[in-house]
Amino acid sequence: MKKLVIAFAASVFVLSACMEKEKSDDVIQKAADGLKSIVAQVSDKTLSHEKNGYGQGTIVDEQNRPTGALDFNKKYSQYGAKAINEDDEKIILTFDQGYENGFTEKILDTLKEKGVRAIFFLTGDYAEKNPDLIKRMIEDGHILGSHTQSHYSMPELSADEIKDELDTIYDYVKKHYGYEMTLLRPPMGEFSEFSLDQTNKAGYTTIMWSYAYRDWVTDDQPDKKEAANKLINAAHKGAIYLLHSVSETNAAVLGEVIDGIREKGFEFDKL
């Protein structure tokens, strides 16, 4: 704080001197920009770089909402991040797209049949290798989000490295698909105050999740009936589901899950 006060005082002095010597809009603007830069740098240094691993936990409130997701919103909404939609009752399905395992087309078929719009978080490798699927996602009315270029742990990166991870995939998707991404899911759900702040400043809303289960291990897939029951019974207002499209189980039970959740009185974000 002392550094900030000193920097502010110095900037005010410089600004006053400049105004005395040459009262021009250009000089005033340069001094103001300098002050803004100093404040931003000092602010960045006060943010924690401690790595956090997100998970919704097993404790829920009276509305079946995971308290871990609600706590995340309270702590980190100031950085444009959320794990549950507290202001919207609709359920959102999200899929992390690290690599293609042959099930995404079936998932897209089911979503189209049920009239459900999902968010697909892409890595750079996926964006480059699966143009037909990505074009279909866009054509079908789904939302594309960033899962970063290289799937690195965000809190382990510097500000410049975070910017590069975001800009590289953003530029590729915009150039090749004409789509501008504004949503982000940090790889592995790992974050720090600093990384959340950096991605927020870059114009992204960080989307975690309020329900996920162990679906990503391709050679140890969950039992289909058990998985469907878990997903249906976890439904709650404003839910954000994290699913992995590499899961054979997810592709097989998705239609049943959508129907089951609707039977409980919930609705999804619609196509």
Q: Is residue 244 annotated as a catalytic residue, yes or no?
A: yes
Among 88, 142, 244, 269, the one annotated catalytic: 244
What would the two tokens of residue 59 be?
A: 């404790």
Give the chain's end-to-end CA distance (angstroms, integer): 49
183: helix, strand or coil: strand
| Residue (of 253, 257, 244, 256) closest to 102 by Cα position | 244
- CB-based burial of residue 132 (10 Å sphere; 0-12 exposed, 13-18 middle, 19+ buried)? exposed
Kindly name the residue from 96, 147, 151, 215 that is annotated as catalytic: 96
Residue 98 is given by DSSP the state S
DSSP state of 66: B
| 176 in catalytic set | no
Give the torsion sign (CA, 109, 110, 116, 121).
negative
Q: How many CB atoms lie within 10 A of CB 37?
A: 12
Half-sphere exposure of 234 (CA within 13 A, CB side): 27
Residues annotated as catalytic are: 96, 244
